[in-house]
Structure 1
Amino acid sequence: MRSAFAFAVSLLVVSAAAGRAEPPKLAVFDLEMIDTSLQGEVSGPRSDEQARLLRAGDQVRKELANSGKFRVLDIAPVNAAAHGSNLQACGGCDVKLAGELGADLVMTGVVQKVSNLILNINLYLRDVHSGQLLAAASADMRGNTDESWSRATDYLVRNRLLAPNYGVPQAR
């Protein structure tokens, strides 16, 4: 998956450089939660976790925009529709919504909660034009705190999506 991601992003960056001298346009949707914990089954969604989902999405958008490798688009025009869908299982509605924004790439993410001790963040990058999955990145978290979520999110962006050894061309 890593080489496919590197190749696809390289093509987008090269074509952007040749054609319009701007990075690929990326729509990053808010993260979603899959809670299979006993607590989640009994109590339902927690407000602190819902707030963390929003903050994690904002963090991904900010870090990727600051990298200069992507032009991160405002998702506000389609955000209500995105929140009304299960972006991981909607048959490509993430690609459709990102296309409405004029994006080249779309990123979705999910936090899987097994318990308050065991959680995992997964990010998925797709090509809007083909719908093809270009990359998936995952990080485990130990502890359900603001700090653990922020650190895991930062790790994914810095050490997977933007790392030179991950194959994404570095800004020159």
Structure 2
Amino acid sequence: MVRFVAAVLLWAMASAAAAEPLRTAVFDIELVDMSQEAERGPRDDQSRRVKLVSDELRRLLQASPQIQLVELGPASDEINQKAPLYRCNGCAEDIARALGAELLVSGIVQKTSDLILSFAIAIRDVRSGELVRGGQADIRGNTDESWLRGIRWIVKNRLLSEPLPTRP
């Protein structure tokens, strides 16, 4: 009987540990402007949309019981120095690791024109750098509504459509 109770307690503790949310660093989405307008420099409306969808991505992921966001503030100087992170050859993993994260989420929105944009978001394991989950969505139209619809679709249908892997 004692062995049975001990086994049940061990199983319950293991289940509770597996159910703990994964500490996750969610970096801002980065704009890759390949349109003819790119040579004019950053546009205020697009900079605002990048912030809008980055905040929405964090909000949606934080709502998941699988994820606990880590604060990026302590690494803000390093993030700004190494930006854009999609070009920094693994520095996002280093930053996330230093913040105590187990997963990192990063992504881009690639603008081909004011009509054609594409999101690509990835969740990576900080230790191995391996892709855990990813999603891509093409959107039509350069509006707040279309950008939000794209990020929401990726989170719902790709990033959180199945449970994330648990700790080993």
Structure 1 residue runs of 4 or more that deviate by more than 4 Å after TM superposition: 15-18
Q: TM-score, normalised by structure 2?
A: 0.83
1:146 correspondence with 2:110 = no
**Cα deviation code 1:41-92 (max 9, x no counterpart):** 2x11111111111111111111111111101111111123223322112111
Counterpart Cα distance in 2 of 1:70 and 1:83: 24
Quickly say closer, same or farther: Cα 1:16–1:113, change in 2 above 3 A.
Answer: farther
Q: TM-score, normalised by structure 1?
A: 0.81
* Bigger relative contact order (CA 8 A; separation at least 6): 1
SS in 1 for 2:87: coil
Aligned to 1:75: 72
Aligned to 1:26: 24
Quickly say closer, same or farther: Cα 1:46–1:19, change in 2 above 3 A.
Answer: same
Q: CA deviation at 1:21?
A: 4.8
Contact 2:110/2:119 (<8 A) preserved: yes
2:121 counterpart letter in structure 1: L
Aligned to 2:3: none
Counterpart Cα distance in 2 of 1:16 and 1:44: 52
Which protein is bigger by CA-based radius of gyration?
2
**Aligned residues: percent identity?**
41
Count of residues paired in the alignment:
152
Quickly say closer, same or farther: Cα 1:40–1:17, change in 2 above 3 A.
Answer: farther
Q: CA deviation at 1:18?
A: 5.3
Quickly say closer, same or farther: Cα 1:28–1:16, change in 2 above 3 A.
Answer: farther
Structure 2 gaps of 5+ residues are: 1-12
Structure 1 gaps of 5+ residues are: 1-14
Q: CA deviation at 1:36?
A: 0.7
